[in-house]
Amino acid sequence: MSPTLRNSYLPTLVLALLFSACQNFSLLPKEQSSSSANQETVTDGLKTTYRSNGSLYSEVMLKNGIKHGLSKSYYEDGSVQLELYYHNGKKDSISRLYYRDGSLKRTTQYKEGRKNGLRKSYFINGNPSAQMNYLDDMPASDLVEYYKSGNPIPQPKIQVSTEDFTAINGLYEINIQFEGQPKNSVFYIGKLKDGKYLDEDLLERIPGNGKVASIKGSLLPGHFLMEKLHIVGEFKTKKGNTYVTTTTYNLAIGG
């Protein structure tokens, strides 16, 4: 084959291969691919989707093209995995998540698309695993988690320590951490909303490395710094819940 023919042939071959690949490619994930019997666009009523193996994946009620009413998702064996209610496209009322055997795994209260109210989790034997409240997706400081035996799991407290070098170089450092230093710990200066909910807009985040947060400052010789610090801390527990707690610290530096 001459160089001229070879150069004109290659682009045609590449385009043909790309076209063939696109014909076999689906933008839908396998877990949510629709069956050939459900290709029509549904704007009102029940929309049903299936997995690539033909098993039922979900049933969603629509109104004017948005979710409105009860929606369900299913395990491959046909048992219900999740029940969610929507109102004009936003999560509403109580959602229920199930284990494969049909026992209840978790309930979450929603209002206008946000978690509002009590959220409870259960072990497969029906015993409580965790419970906590939310306000507009903001976690409360009332998380309680349980062992399978039913006994509550103790949560760590906030620890605060001060390094005072003001007499030497005028510098000081306040270190804040949880007992045991759980990963992804975050600390703030401020107070919880209504004394209970973690509203980051009301708080000032303290710089940290995920375990320890530090406040660094300086003080002129002969000066004193006395202040009551309101500290908020949070981290994700091993169960995946957000633990929130607070403490106050009477700061006294200088002399």
In a domain, residue 232? The reply is: yes
49 with 119, same domain? yes
In a domain, residue 16? The reply is: no
Task: With CA atoms as reference, report the closest residue to 192 among 144, 140, 137, 135.
Answer: 140
In a domain, residue 44? The reply is: yes
> Last residue of a domain, which of 119, 145, 171?
145
Total structural domains in the chain? Answer: 2
The string of DSSP letters for 81-126 reads EEEEEEETTEE-EEEEEE-TTS-EEEEEEEETTEEEEEEEEE-TTS
The model's pLDDT over 99-155, given as tens digits with 9 standing for 90+, comes to 999 999 999 999 999 999 999 999 999 999 999 999 999 999 999 999 999 999 999
In a domain, residue 18? The reply is: no
163 with 141, same domain? no
Task: With CA atoms as reference, report the closest residue to 136 among 153, 162, 116, 150.
Answer: 116
Cα angle value 137/142/145 (rounded, 5°): 100
> Last residue of a domain, which of 115, 145, 175?
145
245 with 162, same domain? yes
Structure tokens at 230: 């309101």
In the three-class reduction of DSSP (H, G, I as helix; E, B as strand; rest coil), residue 170 is classed as coil
- Structural domain including 62 reads 28-145
Residues 142-156 as b/e (b if ≥16 CB within 10 A, e otherwise) read ebebbeeeeeeeebb
124 with 177, same domain? no
Domain holding 108: CATH number?
3.90.930.1
134 with 186, same domain? no
In a domain, residue 4? The reply is: no
Per-residue pLDDT of the chain (255 residues; tens, 9 = 90+): 444 333 443 344 333 334 344 444 333 333 333 343 343 478 899 999 999 999 999 999 999 999 999 999 999 999 999 999 999 999 999 999 999 999 999 999 999 999 999 999 999 999 999 999 999 999 999 999 999 999 999 999 999 999 999 889 999 999 999 999 999 999 999 999 999 999 999 999 999 999 999 999 999 988 899 999 999 999 999 999 999 999 999 999 986
215 with 134, same domain? no
In a domain, residue 166? The reply is: yes
190 with 238, same domain? yes
In a domain, residue 7? The reply is: no
34 with 135, same domain? yes
Tokens 């004009």 identify what position? 88
> Last residue of a domain, which of 116, 145, 174?
145
Radius of gyration of the chain (CA): 28
39 with 128, same domain? yes
213 with 130, same domain? no
116 with 171, same domain? no
pTM of the model as a whole: 0.80
129 with 216, same domain? no
In a domain, residue 68? The reply is: yes
Domain holding 211: CATH number?
2.60.40
